[in-house]
Structure 1
Amino acid sequence: MEIRIKTFNELNTTELYQLLELRSAVFVVEQDCVYKDADGKDQKAIHVLGKKDNQVVAYTRMFGPGDYFDNPSIGRVVVEKDQRQFGYGKVIMEASIQGLETRYPGETLELSAQTYLIKFYNSLGFKETGEPYLEDGIPHVRMVKQNQAS
C-alpha cells in the first residue's frame, strides 16, 4: 500500500470520490449508521490516502489544533473490508501519527475512537480519557497520545 498525504485542494476528483465512497461503504452501510459524512470539515483536513492498485483502500483525515478538537487530531479512520487482513489500519494510522507529530511537534494528539477499537489505538500509544459517549449512535471514547517529537 502506498501512502499519499494531500490537502483538500490537492485531491483529484477520482481520489475524492474514492475516499467518500469508502467512508460511506464502511461508516454508513457496514456499520448501519445514518449520519452526515460530508460535515464541512474535509476542506480543513489533511487527507491521508492508502492506495493499492490506484484505489483508495485505507484513509484518515488529520486536523490541526482547533480545526476539530483543541489538539491536533485524527478522524475518519477506515480500511476497506476486504483489505483489513493486511494490517493497513496500523500502516495508515502510523503515517497519520507521523504526519501530525512532524507538523505539530510536542503537542498532544487526539481522536474519538469507537470503543471496540480501544486496544488497537492503545497499541499505537493512545490512552482513553473521560467516559464513553454516543456519537451517531455508536459508543466512542476520547483518546490522547503524547507527541514524542520535539
Structure 2
Amino acid sequence: MKIQWQLKSFEELTPHQLYQLLRLRSEVFVVEQQCIFLDMDNKDQHCFHLLGWKGELLAASTRLVPPGISYPEMSIGRVVSSPQVRGTGIGRELMEVSVKACYELWGNAPIRIGAQCYLEKFYQSLGFEPEGEIYLEDGIPHIEMVKMPS
C-alpha cells in the first residue's frame, strides 16, 4: 500500500487536514475504544503532525511532541490508524516514519511514549523498552516506554 506522508506544524495544517485528523482520532479513540475523553488537550498547537494519506483517506497519524511538553524527552503520541487500513503494516510504517521525523526535528535523543499495554510487544519490536509501572489513562491501562537513540 502506497502512503503519502506529510509532516506539518499545527499552523501548516489546512482546515481540511485538521478536520480529517480530529475526525480520525475521534473515530478511533472515542467511538471505537469507547473512551469518553477530551482529545483536544491544548498540546496540538505546539506539536508536529505526521499524516499518512491513501488517496483522500487519512489512513494514519501521529502527534510528534517536542521535549518539555508531555515529558522531558520528545514524544510520539496520538498514534492512530484508520480501521480501513489495519492489517496492512501501516502501524509499523507509521511509527518508523515518526521516529525518523523526531530525530530530524530534535536530534538523536531518547523518545518517550505512553503506550496502551496491549501494544507493549509491538513497541518493543520497534526498540522501545517499558519503564515504570502500569497506570490507567482514561480507563485504559498504559505503560511508559522509552527508545534510546542508536
User: Residues of 2 paired with 1:61 and 1:126: CA distance?
Assistant: 17
State the 1:60 CA deviation: 0.2
Q: Which position in structure 2 is the counterpart of 1:105? A: 107
User: Residues of 2 paired with 1:8 and 1:103: CA distance?
Assistant: 14
The CA deviation string for residues 78-104 of structure 1, in whole angstroms up to 9 with x for no partner, is 001121111111111111100111222
Task: Specify every segment of 5 or more residues in structure 1 that has no aligned partner in the other structure, as ranges.
Answer: none
State the 1:32 CA deviation: 0.4
Q: Which position in structure 1 is the counterpart of 2:89? A: 87
Partner-residue secondary structure (3-state), 1:85: coil
Q: Which position in structure 2 is the counterpart of 1:54? A: 56
Partner-residue secondary structure (3-state), 2:36: coil
Please give the root-mean-square deviation of Cα atoms over the aligned residues, in Å. Answer: 0.8
State the 1:2 CA deviation: 1.0
Question: Sequence identity of aligned pairs in percent?
Answer: 47
User: Residues of 2 paired with 1:45 and 1:62: CA distance?
Assistant: 6
Provide the aligned length of Structure 1 versus Structure 2.
Answer: 148
Partner-residue secondary structure (3-state), 1:28: helix
Partner-residue secondary structure (3-state), 2:45: coil
Bigger drift between 97-106 and 48-57 goes to: 97-106
Under a length normalisation based on structure 2, what TM-score does the superposition of the two structures give?
0.96
* Residue 12 of structure 2 corresponds to residue 10 of structure 1: yes
Under a length normalisation based on structure 1, what TM-score does the superposition of the two structures give?
0.96
Task: Specify every segment of 5 or more residues in structure 2 that has no aligned partner in the other structure, as ranges.
Answer: none
The CA deviation string for residues 4-58 of structure 1, in whole angstroms up to 9 with x for no partner, is 0000010001110001000000000000000000111110010000101122110
* Residue 66 of structure 2 corresponds to residue 64 of structure 1: yes
User: Residues of 2 paired with 1:48 and 1:101: CA distance?
Assistant: 14
| Counterpart contact for 1:105–1:147, Cα < 8 Å | no
User: Residues of 2 paired with 1:99 and 1:123: CA distance?
Assistant: 18
Partner-residue secondary structure (3-state), 2:86: helix
Q: Which position in structure 1 is the counterpart of 2:47? A: 45
Which residue identity is paired with 2:68? G
Q: Which position in structure 1 is the counterpart of 2:76? A: 74
Bigger drift between 98-107 and 71-80 goes to: 98-107
Partner-residue secondary structure (3-state), 2:51: strand
State the 1:105 CA deviation: 2.3
Which residue identity is paired with 1:54? E
Partner-residue secondary structure (3-state), 1:112: strand
